[in-house]
């Protein structure tokens, strides 16, 4: 895990590391894999993000693991705006 595991973003709306609940996940007809997240710190609620190209299947597998186990998703987002990219995705208890 990265050293920034306990980091919080510097400004609201900024990209950075977030601990989230996975709400939904799956592929779309545009070829991307989307994951719907809610930040446990309430920075954003039920927003869709897309997986980093080249790592879509791995991130989707991690999202499904989070959904089925109830574990948190620890993600690095490019931005908190809906439809932004997820750059890293970890599952943690």
Each residue's pLDDT tens digit, 6-28: 444 444 468 999 999 999 999 99
Predicted confidence at residue 9, as pLDDT, reads 42
Q: Which residues of 64-85 are buried (b: 16+ CB within 10 A; e: fewer)?
A: eebbeeebbbbbbbeebeeeee
Examine residue 59 and state whether it is found in any structural domain, yes or no. yes
Instruction: Find tokens 């592929």 and name the residue.
Output: 27
Each residue's pLDDT tens digit, 57-72: 999 999 999 999 999 9
Examine residue 56 and state whether it is found in any structural domain, yes or no. yes
Examine residue 84 and state whether it is found in any structural domain, yes or no. yes
Predicted confidence at residue 3, as pLDDT, reads 45
Predicted confidence at residue 14, as pLDDT, reads 81
Q: Which domain holds residue 54?
A: 16-92
- Percentage above 90 pLDDT, the chain: 84
Examine residue 33 and state whether it is found in any structural domain, yes or no. yes
Number of domains composing the chain: 1
Q: The whole model's pTM is what?
A: 0.84
């Amino acid at each position: 895990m990265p050293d920034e595991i306990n980091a919080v973003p510097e400004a609201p709306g900024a990209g950075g590391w977030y601990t989230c609940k996975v709400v939904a996940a799956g592929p779309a007809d545009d070829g991307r894999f989307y994951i719907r997240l809610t930040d446990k710190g309430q920075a954003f609620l039920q927003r869709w993000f897309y997986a980093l190209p080249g790592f879509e299947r791995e991130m989707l597998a991690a999202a499904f693991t989070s959904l089925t186990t109830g574990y948190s998703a620890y993600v690095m987002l490019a931005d908190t705006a809906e439809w932004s990219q997820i750059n890293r995705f970890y599952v943690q208890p």
